[in-house]
Amino acid sequence: MLRTRARRNTTVLVIAQAILGAQMPMIFIIGGLAGQSLAGNPCFATLPLSFIVLGSVLSAQPLSELMARHGRRTGFILANGAGALGAAIASIALYLGSFPLFVFGSLFTGVYMSAQGFFRFAATDTAGPDFAPKAISYVMAGGLVAALVGPQLVKMTATITAVPFLATYLVIIALNALGPVLFAFLDIPAPGGRAKGTRHAGRSRGALLRDPHIVVAMICAMVAYALMNLVMTSTPLAVVGCGYHPADAADIVSAHVVAMYLPSFFTGHLIARFGARRIVGLGLVILTCAGLVALSGIALEQFFMTLVLLGLGWNFGFIGATAMLTQAHSPQERGHVQGINDFVVFGGVFLASLSSGGLMNCTAAGDPQAGWQAVNLAMLPFIVLAAGALWWLGKRQKEIL
């Protein structure tokens, strides 16, 4: 019975990741380009994307606490409403030519983005220890469909209206409208660790943040996600700035998102066999290779290879770190831990996204090639940080044994 419930919930979340998740590659393809067309200063081109991440940062903890009290379904449906509202505001902003309004709408889109990040955790709520890493992996694999569908929807809709990208945001509203239908099939009870009027069961926030396994998992997840976002956010601007067509940028981002999610069919099995820490380490190595390829030149093939490696590195690093985190806390602690984790992760992603436009457009006097190199050089210290934390944790575990 429990296994049947876990598989049913995983299936629902895979479909949600595939269909609803298509909006995220759509937004990341057009968000910077739309921002560049609306902003008076090109340095602020990626500010709308940064505010999506800021919305995720601000909503992660409240959304986690809400789901801990009222269940995953309630949180996910409310987030779908926020995603539809964000797209509606963006549509109005494009029609009016208002950059501030466009940025404001991005905050609501960020609430949906935060909820999508919880899909992977929700898959483990009714799964046993043996199925949990695979459930995470399968849900992330649903993004493969989103990677294929999202960019194609952008190609079909970006220029069919007099106002570029307006139709794309209307499609995003329609996608969010499907959310309540999908989530009606979820069967995840609210955690039983907290009765009404009682304090949270389990360790305090301070105690959780003194657990080295939790801290290192958060650092590695934050670095993997932030670096992926840093480079991906700049990619459409770099590709178009180096003389290629926006359709090329869409194809490159599509290949990137496929690389993000395709390995998820077997990442869970690799984690079960080799351990989460080794898979995270492999992800950091691949992210380093992505930066090296990017620094080697700006041929179209090099953009493709950089983004494919970036997606692979993110997959191993982020899913591995997620598995590390789920193994380090009790079910009663998940509301606190997952909210803190996503606050830390998306806080790092926000800073990366905010830096991306400045590095790309403002540190190199408008030279897109030099800006692209600056973006990729910025990866190095953070890879060193995550690798150092991972090495320290491994050394500490050996000393304890």
Label residue 285 by pLDDT band (50, 70, 90): very high
What is the C-alpha separation between 341 and 310, in angstroms, rounded?
22
Does 124 map to a domain? yes
pLDDT reading at 351 higher than 70: yes
pLDDT reading at 38 higher than 70: yes
pLDDT reading at 369 higher than 80: yes
Range of the domain at 134: 2-186+203-400
The predicted model gives 383-393 an average pLDDT of 93
In the chain, the N- to C-terminal Cα span, in Å, equals 38
pLDDT reading at 194 higher than 80: no
Tell me which DSSP letter residue 189 carries: P
Does 308 map to a domain? yes
> What is residue 195's predicted lDDT score, i.e. its pLDDT?
41
Label residue 317 by pLDDT band (50, 70, 90): very high
Does 191 map to a domain? no
Does 195 map to a domain? no
Pairwise pLDDT comparison (350 vs 230), residue with the higher score: 230
> What is residue 198's predicted lDDT score, i.e. its pLDDT?
43
Does 196 map to a domain? no
> What is residue 147's predicted lDDT score, i.e. its pLDDT?
80
Integer Rg of the chain from CA: 20
CA dihedral sign of residues 233, 239, 241, 247:
negative
Please answer whether residues 223 and 386 qualify as being in contact, where contact means their C-beta atoms are separated by less than 8 angstroms: yes
Does 54 map to a domain? yes
The predicted model gives 201-229 an average pLDDT of 84
Pairwise pLDDT comparison (343 vs 160), residue with the higher score: 160
Closest C-alpha among 227, 229, 207, 209 to residue 217: 209
Total domains present in the chain: 1
CA dihedral sign of residues 78, 83, 84, 90:
positive
> What is residue 32's predicted lDDT score, i.e. its pLDDT?
80
Cβ contacts of 81 within 8 Å, gap of 6 or more: 176
> What is residue 166's predicted lDDT score, i.e. its pLDDT?
92
Q: Provide the 3-class DSSP secondary structure of residue 127.
A: coil
Query: How does pLDDT run across 43-72, given as a tens digit for each residue?
Result: 787 788 889 988 988 888 888 888 888 889
pLDDT reading at 401 higher than 60: no
pLDDT reading at 330 higher than 80: no
pLDDT reading at 183 higher than 60: yes
Does 6 map to a domain? yes
Q: Compute the mean pLDDT over every residue in the chain, rounded to the nearest whole number.
A: 86
What is the C-alpha separation between 308 and 267, in angstroms, rounded?
16
Environment class of 162 (CB within 10 Å of its CB; exposed 0-12, middle 13-18, buried 19+): exposed
Q: Provide the 3-class DSSP secondary structure of residue 257.
A: helix
Phi, psi of 98 (to 5 degrees): -105, 110
Query: How does pLDDT run across 260-269, given as a tens digit for each residue?
Result: 888 877 888 8
CATH of the domain at 10: 1.20.1250.20
Buried b vs exposed e over 88-109: b needs ≥16 C-beta within 10 Å? bbbbebbeeeebebbbbbbbbb
Label residue 199 by pLDDT band (50, 70, 90): very low
Does 192 map to a domain? no
CA dihedral sign of residues 326, 327, 328, 334:
positive
> What is residue 126's predicted lDDT score, i.e. its pLDDT?
81
> What is residue 1's predicted lDDT score, i.e. its pLDDT?
55
Annotate 222-238 with three-state secondary structure: HHHHHHHHHHHHHHHHH
User: What percentage of the chain reaches a pLDDT higher than 70?
Assistant: 93
Polymer length in residues for the chain: 401
